[in-house]
């Protein structure tokens, strides 16, 4: 059963604002991404979500965000039950459209996704799609990140935000922020993801596979300033 102790770094238990970006829990099978938003969690996915929330240590003020997909909303709701059982305070549970492919501007691209499977992501990273239909991955990552980082910057000292999204977003952010290719690290499992924390003027992205640091201003990532 997936638990927070399985992959969340130690930063999550420290008293500083943190944001978790993660894939939803186990869902029922999907035959096509064209009509996948209504697919919900399996009973195991519901149980795993609650247990994941229960396994997060500390006492935090938690805001949960989820994509419009039913499985993401259910993951957030069940996770909230576990978090409350562990002593955390649930501030809100909100839908966030930016957690579900906001960078896709033409639904025809989903036909390519159905045909290519996981290989679709590598073609995307390699720039094989018309940017008018699917934004290039650097821009796509910034679009997903922008509301997440805005929330992180405004969070209280003991604030924890959980953003329940999809495998595409987790794979996208891991490669863009940490340099981790899914071909090397494996596909994004259910209830896996990465954590964003603040360190001075930098944002640190952490996952079991590695860490990365960047600055974010005016909706875009900025390279770290070079030292002397």
The answer to whether 67 and 165 have CB atoms below 8 angstroms apart is: yes
Please, are residues 178 and 9 in contact by the beta-carbon 8 Å criterion? no
Give the model's confidence band at 226: pLDDT under 50 very low, under 70 low, under 90 confident, else very high: very low
**pLDDT at 4 exceeding the cut of 70:** no
In a domain, 212, yes or no: yes
How far is Cα 73 from Cα 96, in angstroms, rounded to an integer? 10
Q: What is the mean pLDDT of residues 161-165?
A: 97
Q: Residue 228: pLDDT band by 50, 70, 90 thresholds? A: very low
In the prediction, which pLDDT does 213 show? 95
In a domain, 179, yes or no: yes
DSSP tag of 20: E
Residue 107 burial by CB count (10 A; 0-12/13-18/19+): exposed, middle or buried? exposed
CA-CA distances (angstroms) from residue 27 to 23, 39, 65?
11, 7, 18
pLDDT at 54 over 90: yes
In what order do the strands lie in the sheet containing 89-95? 89-95, 61-66, 159-165, 18-23, 193-199, 202-207, 210-217, 220-222
Whole domain around residue 157: which residue ranges?
Answer: 4-100+143-217
pLDDT reported for residue 141: 98
Residue 31 sits in a domain whose CATH number is 3.40.50.1240
227 pLDDT above the threshold of 50:
no
Task: Note the maximum CA span of the chain.
Answer: 55
Give the count of domains, the chain: 1
In a domain, 195, yes or no: yes
Q: For residue 61, what are the β-bridge partners?
A: 89, 159
* pLDDT tens column, 177-217: 999 999 999 999 999 999 999 988 899 999 989 999 999 99
In a domain, residue 193? The reply is yes
Residue 121 in domain = no
Please check whether residue 52 lies inside any domain of the structure: yes
| pLDDT, tens digit, 9 for 90 and up, residues 60-94 | 999 999 999 999 999 999 999 999 999 999 999 99
> Is residue 114, in this structure, part of any structural domain at all?
no
pLDDT tens, residue by residue, 30-44: 887 777 888 999 999
The pLDDT mean for the chain works out to 91
pTM of the model: 0.94
Percentage, residues of the chain above pLDDT 70 = 93
In a domain, 200, yes or no: yes
């Amino acid at each position: 059963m997936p638990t927070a102790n399985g992959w969340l770094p130690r930063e999550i238990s420290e008293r500083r604002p943190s944001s978790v970006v993660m894939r939803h829990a186990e869902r029922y099978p999907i035959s096509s991404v064209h009509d996948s938003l209504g697919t919900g969690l399996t009973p195991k996915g519901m149980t795993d979500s609650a247990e994941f929330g229960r396994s997060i240590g500390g006492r935090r003020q938690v805001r949960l965000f989820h994509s419009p997909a039913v499985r993401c909303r259910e993951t957030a709701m069940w996770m909230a039950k576990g978090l409350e059982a562990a002593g955390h305070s649930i501030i809100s549970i909100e839908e966030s459209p930016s957690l579900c492919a906001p960078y896709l501007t033409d639904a025809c691209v989903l036909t390519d996704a159905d045909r290519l499977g996981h290989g679709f992501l590598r073609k995307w990273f390699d720039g094989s799609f018309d940017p008018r239909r699917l934004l290039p991955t650097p821009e796509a990552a910034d679009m997903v990140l922008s509301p997440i980082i805005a929330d992180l910057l405004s969070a209280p000292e003991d604030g924890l935000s959980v953003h329940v999204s999809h495998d595409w977003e987790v794979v996208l952010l891991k490669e863009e922020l940490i340099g981790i290719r899914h071909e090397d690290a494996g596909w994004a499992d259910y209830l896996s993801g990465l954590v964003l924390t603040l360190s001075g003027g930098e944002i640190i992205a952490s996952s079991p596979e590695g860490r990365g640091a960047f600055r974010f201003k005016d909706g875009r990532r900025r390279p770290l300033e070079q030292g002397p």
